[in-house]
Amino acid sequence: MVRSQWNRRKFTSTLGLGFAAALASWPRRSSAAAAGTITVLNWQGYGTDLAAGLRQFKAATGIDVKHDYYNSEPEMLTKLRTNPGAYDVVLVNSARDAQAQVEGLIEPIDLAKVANAAGLAPAFGTHPNILIDGKTYGVPWVWGMNALAVRTGKGLQVDSYAALANPAFAGRGAVFDDAVTAVAIAALMTGQGINNPSDMKKIGDTLKSFKKDVKLIWSSEDEWNKAFAADAFDVSVFWSGAVTRAVNLRRQPVAFVIPKEGAVGWLDNLCIPASSTKKDAALQFIDFMVDPKFYAEWAKVGAPASANNATMEALPADDLNKQIHKPEYLSKLQFMGALPDDRRQAFADVWEEVKAYYAQS
């Protein structure tokens, strides 16, 4: 191995070269600055802030991307209302699109201007959540299902949510601490619509019937993984994407099951706030986000399923995300839709009451 010999002359010439390079790049940088900076509002660690992606986007367009985060959907809406002009792209659960649209918080998007949207699964491109009054208010980005996760290797047969009320699973179940999901699952079991169940009493009673089985009411993926790894439960309400992460990243013995009653679907879309001043740059960023190349990058660290058919088809056949998020499931799903405030509160109340019932000894 030859150690590089740095002498003074070489050093000076290198310095000179570097200086020249810096000078040469100067105007380029300022033009990049003119292209500007956009601000994205999203959950932390949810794709848009992936460092590798941001580097590629900057290299391709010269646009810098800053982030602000929210911890709940109401917080996201509040931030949009109270900071007009601060955000250029916002990730919205499509169930909230209608509310944001009514308040004039988000802008219609011309999907024709988003080249990579051409590959969108048709069911998503025209999804009623995002298509309001004939206009599209967001670009469908990722989607997933809430159904059951079942431990493998114990020979368990589960094909219905009723497993959570089955004495065979006493003390071996877990549910997600989320009112909307809990109500939705009870609605599926009782043959009602998940977004506007007609019989809330039945919903509450169905959820209460889980009492003997429920060991854990989990509220974060991390909590779920710790408890599952410690063998605290066998069957749980869980997210499809989280199951792929549990298997791929943590080697957990778990399978995702879509019970015969169906599953709860959700669709996240990228929207442009009506108050954004950099809508073109925002559209460029959204186009980059739905690009299969970016998804490949994100998938390395555990992405949810892409709403872009082209992306999912490009995945290898043994990819777990591809196996779990089959296109034919789309027809079996009921998607989370818009909820007026009073119904949301009714869901929260019923879930709070059920949890209090679970806690009684």
Partner 1 sequence: MLLPAYGWLLVSVFLPLGAMLVFSFLKTNPFGSKAPLVFTTNNYLAFVTRPYLVGVAWTSLRLGFWTTGICAAVGLPAALAIARATRGRVRQTVFLLTILPFWTNGLVRVFSWTMLLRQGGILDDLVHLAAPGAASAGLLYSFPAVVIGLVHAYLPYMILTCYLAVASIDDALIDAARSLGARLPTVFATVVLPLALPGLVSGSILIFVPVIGSFMEPRILGGRIGVTMGTVIEDQFTQAYNWPLGSALSFSMLGVVLAIFAACSGVLRERLAA
CA distance 354 to 361: 13
**Which residue lies nearer to partner 1 by CB, 79 or 322?**
79
What are the C-alpha distances in Å from 68 to residues 44, 90, 133? 8, 10, 30
Question: What is the helix (H) or strand (E) element at residue 237, kind and residue range?
Answer: strand 235-239
Nearest residue (CB) to partner 1, 217 versus 281:
217
Burial class (CB in 10 A: 0-12, 13-18, 19+), 294: buried
The angle that helices 179-189 and 200-208 make with each other, rounded to 10 degrees, is 100
CB of 223 to partner 1, least distance (A): 7
Spatial distance between the Cα atoms of 27 and 117, rounded to a whole number of angstroms: 33
Shortest distance in whole angstroms from residue 114 CB to partner 1: 29
Nearest distance from residue 186's CB to partner 1, in Å?
17
Query: Please, what is the end-to-end C-alpha distance for the chain in angstroms?
Result: 73
Contacts with partner 1 by CB under 8 A lie at 71-72, 74, 77-78, 80-82, 177-179, 211, 214-217, 219, 223, 226, 230-232, 341, 344-345, 348-349, 352-353, 355-361
Whether the CA torsion 123, 125, 131, 134 is positive or negative: it is negative
We find the least distance from the C-beta atom of residue 138 to partner 1, in angstroms, to be: 20
Q: Of 148 and 179, which CB lies nearer to partner 1 in the complex structure?
A: 179
Residue 354's closest CA among 179, 233, 149?
A: 179
Whole-angstrom distance, CA of residue 297 vs CA of residue 68: 22
Evaluate whether 62 touches 31 at the Cβ level (below 8 Å): yes
Q: Which is nearer to partner 1, 215 or 325 (CB)?
A: 215
Judged by beta carbon, residue 124 or residue 176, the one nearer partner 1 is 176
Closest approach, Cβ 303 to partner 1, in A, equals 25
- Other beta carbons within 10 angstroms of residue 73's beta carbon come to 16
Provide, rounded to whole angstroms, the least separation between the CB of residue 288 and partner 1: 30
> Which CB sits closer to partner 1, 232 or 320?
232
CB of 199 to partner 1, least distance (A): 19
Instruction: CB nearer to partner 1: give 186 or 214.
Output: 214
